[in-house]
Amino acid sequence: MRKLFLTSFLSPFLIFLFISSNSVTSKEENVPKEEYIPNEVLVKFKKDVSKYFIQDAISSVEGTIITYKKEETSPFLWDPTDPSLRSFRLDPDLFHIKVPETIGADQAIYILNRNPNVKYVQRNWIYHPFARYPNDEHFNKQWALFNKGQTGGKMHADINAPDAWNIFTGSSDIVVAVIDSGVDYDHIDLQANIWINWYEYNGTPGEDDDPNGGNGYIDDIYGWDFYDGDNDPMDGSNHGTHVAGIIGAVGNNGVGVTGVNWSVKIMALKVGCTPTGGFSNTAIVHAIDYATENGAHLSNNSYGGGFPSQAMYEAIERAKNAGRLFIAAAGNEFNLDNDEYPYYPASYGDDREPDELENIIAVAATTNEDLLANYSHYGANSVDLGAPGGGGLPFDEDDIYSTTGNNSYTYLAGTSQAAPYVAGVAALAWGCRPDLSGEEVKYAIMNSVDPLDTLYGKTVTGGRLNAYKALTILPPPGPNAPSNLITTYDYCFEVKLTWQDNSNNEQGFKIERQSGPYWYYLDQVGPNVTTYWDIDLPCGETWCYRVYAYNQNGNSSYSKSKCGKTIDCYYCDDGWDLKLTTNKKIINPGESVTYTYTIQNKGNVDLTDVELTDDKFGKIASKYTLKKGKTITFTKTATLIEITTNIAEATVKYYRENKIKTTKRHALVTVEVRN
């Protein structure tokens, strides 16, 4: 790799100013664009059309039916008598159809409109929520959030924040570390969103009050000053405060400006004092580690230089291993191609490098006209996307307006300003979906950009940040965690588990059992099942369990664990058992499965009044007598369309010690159905 220059300091990418203006908008720009989901249509059939005509119509466009549960099924497996296969629960004649790309929505509409059994067919249109605007005094100056041409720029050359805010405005549970010149934590527009270390705030002055022996820093209430080596990260220049305001100035408070997040927590980590000097390597490494160790979800890093640092690389790698994102400014000192002249730390995310740090998002700067800023670095492999950074010198209203020291505001420009817009959207997405990983948040940001000709071939994505789109392409949420786990130990060799289902989108539940200090996967059951029997256990022993829900988007958190002891062996001598098996464990939708129920009498007494039931099929057998040493088997065949768990219960009576005793056994089996 070619290195541009050697420096012992990394310079922040900044620039400052103020102003205001008008713009003209054409009528064409206000005409709504046609938006619909490609390769999908809605088709309504006339009343009382036969099953076969409906199947034939859908197959004529090679379509599959999407049910209201978002599951795809072949029209030939569709059964009009099964409500679970409907596309719309309250309208059995309306179908949501997916067609192959080779046919597409337009051709499907043409073909189906010619079918005499079709009442109507239409595209699957996309509708947008109404935008949400804050009441902050200077919001109109923040074209990067909402550009209606007010500064002479191009309409919609912004991150589409109002539409994003209609979905989510931020969360105080998300912590963003601002590694910079410090932050004015007393600023009226930042104070409510400043991260506070409550252990130290409520602790004893002069002592490290953090748990587990402390975090190594005394009285670090708002963060730390790694430049001066003390606990006061107050901004020494305005650069860090300006960055912090872009990420999280308090929104909708009638004061000043709004951040991308109306609510968030800013961790102030001071590593230098611009413009009098740069940021030292050692201070940056300490700050990255502090952010990682003290719970920041991501960090904003608006600085850089041309010489790599292995120590910094390893600190960013530690952040990656902890699941943290690292947002880095691409640079604006030379308008260089970072692919040719690497600029660090942004270039540690270069796609061409085998040791690329995937948690880095490197950001170029764009203008209010959606052009790559003439000062901004770029790189088709090393800079990921663009974000508003302003036009540059001289500073005026086409630059970025944000917070500065002593309750003031001003205009600055640079990739230093572009990076915190990306950090802000990452925090917004993470707050909206705290179950996501850093990798998933980065994927959403990278795959939701607005493509720009000026960024094509200049960045990895070829586009500019779009907050609204980033929130709309987040993967669907995983299921909610089950609760109220109860274990019942009224049986000799079994434990009954029940729990509360708190989701409507799980594919099933998985059960884990503890052995010593470790938890192991035990079994799984299908959706909506809230009972499980752990069978063939030794009597008189303690067992502990926990349960979680899962679907294609991920797992829920665990239920609280529950423990208990099976009945003492003294009371367990009836000597019989129940088994439930199937001839197939995984099948295709609509395939049949045979269930086999086996009751074996291994004891030395006859069993009478044998009753066998299945929670799905009802009564299987009744009033049987099973002689000692004998086995009896029953079978049942069924066709399945989704993962299914069956629970069997057998009740028997026997005579012992001049008494008639009644005992029960349970067995269960789960059959998975391929998607």
Identity of residue 610:
V
Sign for the CA dihedral angle at 288, 290, 291, 293 comes to: positive
- Give residue 223's identity as a one-letter amino acid code: G
Distance CA 79, CA 90 (A): 16
Examine the domain organization and report whether 414 and 515 are in the same domain: no
Question: Domain check: are 229 and 285 in the same one?
Answer: yes
Could you give the CA distance from residue 500 to residue 504 in angstroms, rounded to a whole number?
A: 12
Q: What is the pLDDT of residues 73-116, one digit of tens each?
A: 999 999 999 998 999 989 999 999 999 989 999 999 999 999 99
Q: Which of 133-137, 318-322, 627-631 has the lowest mean pLDDT?
A: 627-631
Residues 449 and 487 in one domain: no
| 387-396: average pLDDT | 90
CATH of the domain at 559: 2.60.40.10
Do 319 and 216 reside in the same domain of the chain? yes
The pLDDT score that the predictor gives to residue 555 is 86
Do residues 49 and 117 touch, judged by C-beta distance below 8 A? yes
pLDDT, position 334 = 76
Q: Does residue 40 sit within a domain?
A: yes
Domain edge (last residue) among 472, 487, 509: 472
Q: Which tops the pLDDT comparison, 623 or 141?
A: 141
* Spatial distance between the Cα atoms of 270 and 240, rounded to a whole number of angstroms: 8
Q: At which of 472, 491, 510 does a domain end?
A: 472
| Residue 368 predicted with pLDDT over 70 | yes
Residue 6 lies in a domain: no
| Judgement on whether residues 166 and 208 belong to the same structural domain of the protein | yes
Per mean pLDDT, which range of 380-384, 474-478, 529-533 is the poorest?
A: 474-478
Q: Is residue 16 part of a domain?
A: no
Could you tell me which residue, 460 or 37, shows the higher pLDDT? 460
Instruction: For residue 110, give every residue at least 6 positions away whose Cβ sits within 8 Å of its Cβ, in sequence order, or none.
Output: none
Q: Does 44 share its domain with 65?
A: yes
User: Has residue 354 been placed in a domain?
Assistant: yes
> Is residue 522 located within the same domain as residue 592?
no
- Per cent of the chain over pLDDT 70 is 92
Judgement on whether residues 580 and 551 belong to the same structural domain of the protein: no
Average pLDDT value for residue range 472-491: 84
Please give the residue range of the domain that contains residue 630.
573-675
Q: Are 620 and 636 contacting, i.e. CB atoms less than 8 angstroms apart?
A: yes
Please report the pLDDT score of residue 375 as a whole number: 95
CA distance 230 to 109: 69
Query: Do 464 and 506 have their domain in common?
Result: no
The more confidently predicted of residues 315 and 566 is 315
Q: Is 368 in contact with 152 (CB distance < 8 Å)?
A: yes
Token pair for 647? 């629970």
Q: Is the pLDDT of residue 174 over 60?
A: yes
CA angle 45, 46, 50 (to 5 degrees): 80
Q: Minimal CA–CA distance to 562: which of 578, 545, 550? A: 545
218 and 267 assigned to the same domain: yes
Q: Is residue 298 part of a domain?
A: yes
Pairing of strands 385-388, 325-329: unpaired
**C-alpha–C-alpha distance, residues 330 and 417, integer Å:** 11
Looking at the structure of the chain, the number of domains it has is 4
Q: Beta partners for 304? A: 11
Domain of 665, CATH number, reads 2.60.40.1530
- Residue-wise pLDDT for 22-57, tens only, equals 333 333 444 455 678 889 999 999 999 999 999 999
Report the percent of the chain where pLDDT is more than 90: 69
Q: Read off the pLDDT band of 277 (50, 70, 90).
A: low
How does DSSP assign 615-665, residue by residue? TTTEEEEEEEEE-TT-EEEEEEEEE-SS-EEEEEEEEEEEEETTEEEEEEE
Question: From CA 303, how far away is CA 181, in angstroms rounded?
Answer: 10
**Closest listed residue to residue 266, CA positions, set 242, 284, 230, 237:** 242
pLDDT score at 33: 58
- Identify whether 430 is part of a domain: yes
- Residue 206 falls inside a structural domain: yes
Q: What is the pLDDT of residue 14?
A: 47
**Most confident listed range (445-449, 471-475, 659-663):** 445-449
* Residue 503: predicted pLDDT: 87
Q: Give the domain CATH number at 200.
A: 3.40.50.200
Residue 14: inside a domain, yes or no? no
Q: Which residue has the higher pLDDT, 148 or 395?
A: 148
| Ramachandran angles phi, psi of 312, nearest 5° | -70, -40
283 and 161 fall within a common domain? yes
CA 554, CA 481: separation in Å to the nearest integer?
A: 11
The owner of tokens 């295709």 is: 588
CB 370 within 8 Å of CB 151: no
pLDDT mean across residues, the chain: 89
Q: Within this chain, do residues 468 and 529 fall inside the same structural domain, yes or no?
A: no
Q: Among 448, 472, 496, which residue terminates a domain?
A: 472
Number of other residues whose CB lies within 10 A of the CB of residue 542: 10
Total residues found in the chain within this entry: 675
Per the confidence metrics, is the pTM higher than 0.85?
no
